[in-house]
Amino acid sequence: MTAFWTAPDPRAALRELLSTAYPRAVADADLLLSLTRKYGTSPFTTLETARRELAVDRVVFERLLDTFDQVPELRAAVVAGPAGKYWSNTVLPLESKGIIDNILERRTVTPHIVALYPGPTCMFRCHFCVRVTGARYENSSLEAGNAMFASVIDEIPNDNPYAMYVSGGLEPLTNPGLGGLIARAAGRGFKMVLYTNAFALTSQTLERQPGLWDLHAIRTSMYGLNDEEYEETTGKRKAFGRVKANLLNFQKLRAARERPVRLGLSYIILPGRASRLTRLADFIAELSDAAPDQPIDFLNLREDYSGRPDGKLPPGERAELQDALNAFAERVASRIPSLNVDYGYALHSIRSGTEAELIRIKPSTMRPGAHIQAGVQVDLLGDVYLYREAGFPGLKGAERYIAGRIEPGTTLADVVAKFVADDRRIEPRDGDEYFLDGFDQALTARLNQLETDMADGWHTSRGFLR
C-alpha cells in the first residue's frame, strides 16, 4: 500500500488487499480510501471534519478508525502520502516519545530538544532573516554566557543523545568558546549538530577550537552557488568563494584525520531559482570528490514561498519546480548516489505531483501557552525562548516569548517549572507567526487538532494516527 499514491487504480488495489487479508473491511473500502486520501494530504484535519465530509454517523466512523488501527497497510499509505513528512518527521516521532502528552497535560519535564544559540554576532545580512540590522550581543557577555551554556550542558539528562544542538540566532562560530562547549557536551555522550554558514569554518578556527572535531554533524546553510548570488542574498562580497574553500578544506581535513563528523548542507529554493538545482548537485559532487571515501552526507532541501497567499504556487510554477526536482534527483543519483536528501514538508508534496496541505499558522491559531515541553532555545544571555525564530537580540515582540532566564541560582529546570506552574499565557499579535519555524508550525497545528478532537469526544482516536 505504500505505492497507493502511484497505483493506476487505488480503489482496486485497496479492495484486493482487504479481500485477501481483511475481508470484514471490504464493505468499507470506499470510505477507507477517502480517509487515506484525506489524511495523506491534510494530516491536521479534525476527526469531526473528516466524519462530516464522509457523511457517516459516529458509529460507522468509529468502525473506520478501528480498521485503520488494525490494518498497518492503511497506516503506511497515509504516511507515504504527499503530506507524509508531517507524519514521519514530526508528528509520529513526538507521539511515540510521549512529547505530545507532556504538552497537553502540562507536565513539568525537561524540554525534549534544547537549542543553544551562542553566537554574539553574524557576518551576513540575509534579506530573509528577521535579525535587526546591526544587533549583536556585547563581547562582555561571552564569559558569563559560555559558563551558563556549560551549566545547561551539565544539567540536561543524557538519555537522549540528540537532546541538544547549536544554532542561532546569530552565527555560532563567532563564539570563540564554542569548541569547548562542544567537547563538554560530547564528553557527556551528546551528538551535537552545528548549524552554521561556514564562513568562519577555517583551518585557523579548527586549530583554535579543536573541540569542533567532537561534533556529530555540521549543517551548512548555503545562500547561492556563486559570489553574485551570495552577495545578493547575504550582502557579503566574495562570500561564496570563501565558504566553498572552507568546505573543501574541511572535507580534506576530516578525511586525513579520519574523523566521523558528518557534513551536510541546507539549501532554500528561492522563487525563480528552481532551475539552478542541478548546479547544486554538481557543487555537492565537487565537494564529495575532494574526499571520495567521505562524500557529503546529507542535504536538507527547502522552499521559500512564504510571501505567497497560503504558500501556494501557480500551476505553471509548480510544474516547473517539479521538473527541476526530478532533474536534480537524477543528477544526484548519477553523481552522488550516497547523498541523503531530505525534501521536507512542501517539496515532498510537490515531488509527488499531488497537492497537500501546507501549514500556515496565524496569530488566531497560535497557542498562548506554546509548547515548552517540546523544545526551547537558549541565547547568550540565558534567555529561554519558546520559538525557534524568536531568539534574536532586539527583535521587536520577541521578548514576550521568553519563558525566563538562566543565571546563577536559576537552572533551565527552574525556568520550565515556573513557566508551567504560572500557566503563562501570551496573547499573539499580528506578525508573531514569523517566530515559528516549520517544526513549530507543524506541532502547533497538531496540538490544535488534538484538543479539538478531544473536545468533540474522540479521546481514544484523537489525531487519527498516533
Q: What is the mean pLDDT of each run of 10 residues along the chain (466 residues)?
A: 74 88 92 95 96 97 95 93 92 97 97 98 80 84 98 97 95 98 98 97 97 98 93 90 98 95 94 89 97 96 64 74 93 97 86 75 96 98 97 93 97 98 97 94 97 97 95
Distance between CA atoms of residues 337 and 333, nearest Å: 4
73 and 119 housed in the same domain: no
Which of 344, 363, 382 terminates a domain? The answer is: 363
- Looking up cell 510571501 gives 307
16 and 138 housed in the same domain: no
225 and 180 housed in the same domain: yes
131 and 265 housed in the same domain: yes
Phi and psi torsions of 69, nearest 5°: -70, -30
208 and 321 housed in the same domain: yes
Please provide the DSSP assignment of 367-405 as one string.
-TTTTTTTEEEEETT-EEESSTT--STT-TTGGGGEEEE
196 and 297 housed in the same domain: yes
Does residue 378 lie in a domain region?
no
pLDDT of residue 305: 53
Distance between CA atoms of residues 226 and 206, nearest Å: 25
Distance between CA atoms of residues 179 and 52, nearest Å: 56
Q: Are 348 and 85 in contact (CB under 8 A)?
A: yes
pLDDT of residue 4: 72
Does residue 409 lie in a domain region?
no
Does residue 437 lie in a domain region?
no
Distance between CA atoms of residues 130 and 140, nearest Å: 24
Q: Largest Cα–Cα distance in the chain?
A: 71
- What is the residue range of 36's domain? 4-81
- Looking up cell 541546507 gives 266
Distance between CA atoms of residues 322 and 82, nearest Å: 13
* Residue 155: partners with Cβ closer than 8 Å, 6 or more residues away: 411, 412, 413
Distance between CA atoms of residues 35 and 43, nearest Å: 10
pLDDT of residue 411: 98
Which of 81, 101, 118 terminates a domain? The answer is: 81
Does residue 234 lie in a domain region?
yes
3-state SS string for 90-112: HHHHHHHCCHHHHHHCCCCCCCC
pLDDT of residue 348: 80
Can you give the CATH number for the domain in which 213 is found? 3.20.20.70
163 and 304 housed in the same domain: yes
* Residue 261: partners with Cβ closer than 8 Å, 6 or more residues away: 213, 215, 216, 217, 218, 254
Does residue 426 lie in a domain region?
no
Q: Identify the burial level of 45 via C-beta atoms within 10 angstroms of its C-beta, where 0-12 means exposed, 13-18 middle and 19 or more buried.
A: middle
Q: How many domains does the chain divide into?
A: 2
Query: Residue 422 corresponds to which cell in the numbers above?
Result: 504560572
Distance between CA atoms of residues 298 and 87, nearest Å: 21
Q: Are 47 and 458 in contact (CB under 8 A)?
A: yes
Per DSSP (E only), the strands in 186-304 are 193-196, 217-222, 262-269, 298-303
13 and 153 housed in the same domain: no
Does residue 382 lie in a domain region?
no
Does residue 215 lie in a domain region?
yes
140 and 242 housed in the same domain: yes
158 and 122 housed in the same domain: yes
Which of 363, 388, 404 terminates a domain? The answer is: 363
Please provide the DSSP assignment of 154-216 as one string.
HHS-TTSTTSEEE--SS-GGG-TTHHHHHHHHHHTT---EEEE--TT--HHHHHH-GGGGG-S
Dihedral sign of CA atoms 142, 148, 154, 155 in order? negative
139 and 55 housed in the same domain: no
* Residue 209: partners with Cβ closer than 8 Å, 6 or more residues away: 176, 178, 179, 180, 182
77 and 125 housed in the same domain: no
Does residue 457 lie in a domain region?
no
